[in-house]
Amino acid sequence: VEPRYFELAEMDLAHWQKVAAEKYPHGLPKPFSSDPTQWLFNGHPAGADQPLHVAVARLLGYQWPRQTGSSFPDCPALGPDGLEKLADDDGIVPINPVRGEPAADERVVALLRDAYKSAGITFDHSMIGKLISESGSNCSSLGEWLLTDFFEQHCKLFHHRPFLWHIWDGRKDGFNVLVNYHLLAAAGDGGRQLLEKLTYAYLKDWIDRQHAGVKNGDAGAEARLAAAVKLQKELIKIIDGEAPYDIFVRWKPMSEQAVGWHPDINDGVRMNFRPFLLAEDVGKKGAGILRMKPNIKWDKDRGKEPERPKKNFPWFWSCDPEANPTHETDFTGGREFTGERWNEVHYTLAVKKAAREAESHSAVGKVVRS
């Protein structure tokens, strides 16, 4: 396009000023969105495009940007709306009752009732079926929707970057929980501690109940126990983070790669999702211990990296895990820098710890020399 080309287009300014004055006699309306995928959204289920999804998110303690202090032009930050008191205290919500917590569907209904009441709308149980249908589901109850359709809809709604995860043992009558990913990826040891709580408190409570059920001769208890124990083993592997249950972030040097479950939320859900999806499948193929597999993959990304030192970034040096499977784990780098953006590589704890120790010694040496 030539410079100043658009100045050749005719524009009847007076006409459009008249149209604007007729359509917006009081000026442009304030920005507003009822779409929960937008930053301007106020985080309230009543009036939202997807009330059920917003209610579940609020139950798990999620809040939208304006609720956490962010403001935008003509969209100020929002104060509490009263639903905070109904949010779960740790971001782990069992779909079936566990550890004395009520079933998730009961808690969602309680939150919806308060939300609609605060908006001046009388909420009755008959509205649940309508909301389920409007979400695009054929489920006959809220409990069934949470168990079978919620996570898949959530993934699609938020463009396959889910912030609420459905972790399960592969059985509809088994252990099923919804977890706030932002809390699972909390800074420091916060995320690891939450995953440990899920594994050794919530899941253990369920396992103990199945043990008791086996002793009492309860139907299905043995199968539920076996599935739960298998899930616990997979979660422990994720906590430990030994390959292939490791987190790998290609833009970070080896010395900064996570050791065990210590995710960096700024690396994105795609990177941090990997251990859960690569765990042994309990349900759908490729979904690991999640209810379904989001449209996420870790093959080679487009583009190439600027040159990086082989010591810190060996995966950028002649790495090709597709052509050579030996490059998938603990690849030490080839002869040439190629800069290919591979993501499906793994590093063992021993290699990561050695890199951290070497980096620490190097830093100490620099201080001594200075």
- pLDDT per position as a tens digit, 231-269: 999 999 999 999 999 999 999 999 999 999 999 999 999
Cβ neighbours of residue 234 under 8 Å, at least 6 residues apart? Answer: 279, 280, 282, 288, 289
| pLDDT at residue 52, rounded to an integer | 98
Q: Give CA 291 to chain center in angstroms.
A: 13
Pairing of strands 164-168, 340-341: unpaired
C-alpha neighbours within 13 Å on the C-beta side of residue 276: 24
| Sign of the Cα pseudo-torsion (145, 149, 154, 157, in order) | negative
Q: Are 338 and 319 in contact (CB under 8 A)?
A: yes
**What distance in Å separates the CA atoms of residue 263 and residue 274, rounded to the nearest whole number?**
11
Q: How far apart are CA 108 and CA 56, in angstroms?
A: 6
What mean pLDDT value characterizes the chain?
A: 96
Residues of the chain scoring pLDDT < 70: 364-370
Q: What's the pLDDT at 175?
A: 99
Q: What is the pLDDT of residue 251?
A: 98
pLDDT tens, position by position, 170-187: 999 999 999 999 999 999
Which tens digits make up the pLDDT trace of 96-124? 999 999 999 999 999 999 999 999 999 99
| Contacts with 366 (C-beta within 8 Å, 6 or more apart), sequence order | none
Nearest of 104, 151, 96 to residue 273 by alpha carbon: 151
Whether 275 contacts 241, CB under 8 Å: yes
Which of 309, 277, 278 lies closest to 291, judged by CA?
277
Q: What is the pLDDT of residue 365?
A: 64
Count of C-beta atoms within a 10 Å radius of residue 169: 25
Please tell me the predicted confidence (pLDDT) of residue 369.
64
> Is the model's pTM score more than 0.85?
yes
Sketch the domain layout of the chain as residue ranges.
303-363
